[in-house]
Structure 1
Amino acid sequence: MEIIVGIDVSKDRLDVHVLPSGEAFSVENDHAGVEDLVRRLAALSPAVVGLESTGSFERLAVAALAGAGLAIVVVNPAQVRAYANALGKRAKTDPIDAAVIAAFIAATKPQLRPLRDAETEALAELVARRRQIVQMIVAEENRARTVIAKQAQKSIHRLLVALRRELASLDAGMDDHIRKSPVWRVNEKLLSSVPGVGPVVARSLIAEMPELGSLDRCQIAALAGLAPWTRQSGKWRGKSFIGGGRSHVRAALFMAALVAIRHNPVLKAFRDRLVEAGKPKIVAVVATMRKLLTILNAIVRDQKPWQKT
């Protein structure tokens, strides 16, 4: 019987549960603890090791385990919690969560996807940091519109100068990073050939959706959280929704779609047809995002730039 490992991740600790033996242990979430984790799991030769996505705390363990050649899957915490509720497990502790993660993987057998390599991970961190700096700039600009005191205005101005300098430095760093990879340079040029897609969106997709070009249109839409799911029962038909997936990719595509609706004749006509057919404007924008992603996926797959016809 294959061995499956579930790991609950917190800032300071990794709680581990092994199926089918039921063995459980914990290690510190630092370099020494992760080294111990890799040694113990390598001896077990598990079929798959699953961790919940926390946004950052799982990165050290994922990198070390993947580097040791273990099969890793990072699962959605909301799906794991829903699975626990379905099993009637209302208690929630880190060891219990680790056991639920292992059981969830055993039951659902999630698809294993190649993890981002070190260079792609580094680019993703630069993209994320740029996004944070832009958010800080917007926040300070909003404050500048409301403050009256001269000293406060000067403080905001000084901070904005520093933030804009840091933004320029990050953009230069990403330029250097992109230049290191011939594949990235080509893909950035291909993606940017689509009206509405600029360098920032192109780099976000390269860093945060490396699967682009390797999946079909349905799979790539689901990965971005743009595949609509329906709600119906008997004769009742509810509204369709999107959700899950990679929120930062979805945000980048949203901005690109808004620009494309104005400057890309193909996508503008697509969106206008939906609105004329009675679709709400936000629904038309989401559909445009999905079509844009499908186009970008095909461009990277075929290695051919945008063509209007």
Structure 2
Amino acid sequence: MDAFVVGIDVSKDRLDVHVAPDGKAFFVANDAAGIEALAGRLCEMAVKLVALEATGGFERLAAAALSAAGLPVAVVNPAQVRSFADALGKRAKTDPIDAAVIARFAAASGVEARPLPDAQGRLLADLVARRRQIMTMLVAEEARLKRAAERELKKSITRLIAALRRELDSLDESLDALIRKSPLWRIKEDLLVSVPGIGKRIARTLIADLPELGRLGGKEIASLAGLAPFTRQSGTWRGKSFIGGGRTHVRAALFMGALVAARRNPVLKAFRDRLVMAGKPKMVAIIAVARKLLTILNAIIRDQKPWQPT
């Protein structure tokens, strides 16, 4: 019997399902009863993979329930699915069409099922994401305060800034408490912050958003973080290499860590200086430092040994 690949397009109220290669299509409600019925139906089939798009959290209930039912589940990147659809010439966009494209993408790209984070892991990721949101709002309000001329406007912005800072402190306390509850997270955080240039904020971003750290090779982890350069060439023409894709928040955190490490970490500072002396642009050198920093962090978590300058 052929193994089936199932694509699911997720919306707030329903799940559109497409089964490849036989082309069966149907939908169920995106609630406990609908997902239970879907799991029962899929468990009767020889399912190789169930692929769902990441849709801002609406996919979590379905992904968790289907995985708990013993089905191999993968949450796929919607940008990659959209690019795949463009390559197929699929300009029309409806939920059933999207489900079929997801199934074809999963079958063609070799996506593999991965363990889903547990409730504590999801909570950590949500708190880290919420902290980023508060920081974004805080930076925006501080910029507005600098431009504000009227007294009443300044008072309003100042009150909001104070409230945002209180909320930031509250989130940090919640994150501290959550990390303390997990011996594994405590150990991982201590190992990460042992590296000059890595503070608690970056460490917690990596713990929450890059759980594969320490379990993959250097090239694979760099690709996940969006720090693996891709080559552009055709015939004798050689273009500049660029980085992109991957997990944006992880890449941003590592970039900030690289800026600090290029000044305070003697090993990475020497590495950056060598690149600049060799004629590399400063931005290229910092990106190289970020990738080397990630390689070091990956090895530290893999070997469970803190930073050693040698």
Q: Give the TM interval when normalised to the shorter protein.
A: over 0.9
Q: Which amino acid aligns with 2:208?
A: A
Partner Cα separation in structure 2 for residue 50 and residue 229 of structure 1: 26
Q: 1:8-157, aligned counterparts within 5 Å?
A: 8-157=9-158
Q: Which amino acid aligns with 2:292?
A: K
Percent identity between matched residues is: 67
- How far the C-alpha of 1:65 sits from its partner, in A, is 1.6
Structure 2 equivalent of residue 206 of structure 1: 207
Contact map agreement 2:3 2:46 (CA 8 A) in 1: no
TM-score calculated relative to the size of structure 2: 0.95
- How far the C-alpha of 1:124 sits from its partner, in A, is 0.5
Q: Which amino acid aligns with 2:19?
A: V
Partner Cα separation in structure 1 for residue 117 and residue 143 of structure 2: 36
Q: Which amino acid aligns with 2:158?
A: H
Q: Which amino acid aligns with 1:192?
A: V
Q: 1:160-309, aligned counterparts within 5 Å?
A: 160-309=161-310
Deviations 1:210-266 (A, max 9, x none): 111011111100111111111111101111111111101111101111111111011
- How far the C-alpha of 1:157 sits from its partner, in A, is 1.4
Contact map agreement 2:49 2:112 (CA 8 A) in 1: no
Partner Cα separation in structure 2 for residue 14 and residue 200 of structure 1: 36
Partner Cα separation in structure 1 for residue 259 and residue 34 of structure 2: 46
Partner Cα separation in structure 2 for residue 39 and residue 294 of structure 1: 43
TM-score calculated relative to the size of structure 1: 0.96
Unaligned runs of 5+ in 2: none
Q: Which amino acid aligns with 2:69?
A: A
Contact map agreement 2:214 2:300 (CA 8 A) in 1: yes
Deviations 1:249-295 (A, max 9, x none): 11110111111111101111111111111111111111111000000
Q: Which moved more, 1:42-51 or 1:197-206?
A: 42-51
- How far the C-alpha of 1:46 sits from its partner, in A, is 1.5
Root-mean-square deviation (Å): 1.4
Deviations 1:118-165 (A, max 9, x none): 211110000000111111111111111111222211111111111111
- How far the C-alpha of 1:39 sits from its partner, in A, is 3.0
Partner Cα separation in structure 1 for residue 283 and residue 13 of structure 2: 41
Question: Per the alignment, in what secondary structure is the counterpart of residue 44 of structure 2?
Answer: helix
Partner Cα separation in structure 2 for residue 34 and residue 241 of structure 1: 41
Q: Which amino acid aligns with 1:254?
A: F
Partner Cα separation in structure 2 for residue 251 and residue 33 of structure 1: 38
- The structure 1 segments of at least 4 consecutive aligned residues displaced by more than 6 Å after TM superposition are none
The 1:153/1:33 distance shift into structure 2, 3 A limit, reads farther
Q: Which amino acid aligns with 2:132?
A: R
Unaligned runs of 5+ in 1: none
Aligned length: 309
Q: Which moved more, 1:78-87 or 1:223-232?
A: 78-87
- How far the C-alpha of 1:113 sits from its partner, in A, is 2.5
Partner Cα separation in structure 1 for residue 14 and residue 282 of structure 2: 46
Q: Which moved more, 1:191-200 or 1:271-280?
A: 271-280
Partner Cα separation in structure 2 for residue 10 and residue 133 of structure 1: 26
- How far the C-alpha of 1:45 sits from its partner, in A, is 4.6
